[in-house]
Structure 1
Amino acid sequence: MEGSTKSGQKRIISIDEQTTQVLRNQRKMQAGDKLKVGPEWRGASTYVFTTGWGEPIHPDTVSSPFPILIKRHNEREAQGPLPHARLHDLRHIHTTTLLLAGVPVHVVAARLGHADPSITLRVYAHVIRSAEASAADVFAQAIKE
């Protein structure tokens, strides 16, 4: 991503080893593309995902195929259709998954770039309420033992 965040600060986000490997593989493919294109390569080495000429890709390039991919999936998949989704919805899925897995709100807020965890709490209150219900079950089970 180019530029700073809404708050004007840099954000460093930890990623797992599998994601790191995907990015390394992409970088290797990009190096091959750069060799094929030769002096016509227009990119700097700062972008992992670029056009075939090495230029930064526009965010719409990633967002626009979403409806098409979902439609293709739904035409082939018998287990149930995927709902309409935008690229930005992956942010919500990521957040919801972390909160339901018990990751502390302040950690999730930092990953999202929320200056204050209260923002995360407000936006994802419905997720936290459902986690609270399961916490009651966990507590009840713990005192039975």
Structure 2
Amino acid sequence: MAVLIKRYNLAHENARLPHARLHDLRHIHATTLLIAGTSVHVVAARLGHADPSITLRVYAHVIKSAEASAAETFAKAIGQ
């Protein structure tokens, strides 16, 4: 991973990538899916979690913000 980032940064001086671990990319992947509304069960399966409760514990903060967003969307839809 570090080699790929270094190679990219050498070729793109004006658009450098920060250091990232493979685990960071895994977290971004799961977070993006959850924010987009993907089912926790689907995300858990993609991450290889044996039980969706693991995913719920790790990403509780993401799920709570998505719930707040859903509530705002619903309120707008009913004219509140």
Runs of 4+ deviating beyond 4 Å: none
Residues 41 and 52, structure 2, Cα contact 8 Å, conserved in 1: yes
- Total equivalences in the alignment: 80
Q: Which residue of 2 aligns with 1:84?
A: 19
Query: Residues of 2 paired with 1:105 and 1:137: CA distance?
Result: 20
Q: Which residue of 1 aligns with 2:74?
A: 139
Q: Which runs of 5+ in 1 are unaligned?
A: 1-62
Residue-by-residue CA offset, 1:21-74 (whole Å, 9 max, x unaligned)? xxxxxxxxxxxxxxxxxxxxxxxxxxxxxxxxxxxxxxxxxx331441464377
Q: Report the AA paired with residue 65 of structure 1.
A: V
1:135, CA displacement in angstroms? 0.9
Query: Residues of 2 paired with 1:116 and 1:71: CA distance?
Result: 38
Query: Residues of 2 paired with 1:101 and 1:68: CA distance?
Result: 30
Give the TM-score normalised by structure 1. Answer: 0.47
Q: Which runs of 5+ in 2 are unaligned?
A: none
Residues 70 and 84, structure 1, Cα contact 8 Å, conserved in 2: no
Q: Which residue of 1 aligns with 2:65?
A: 130
* More helix, by proportion: 2
Helix, strand or coil for the counterpart of 1:115?
coil
CA RMSD of aligned residues (A): 2.2
Q: Report the AA paired with residue 106 of structure 1.
A: H
Query: Residues of 1 paired with 2:77 and 2:56: CA distance?
Result: 26
Residue-by-residue CA offset, 1:81-112 (whole Å, 9 max, x unaligned)? 54321122211111111101100101110111
Q: Which residue of 2 aligns with 1:65?
A: 3
Give the TM-score normalised by structure 2. Answer: 0.80
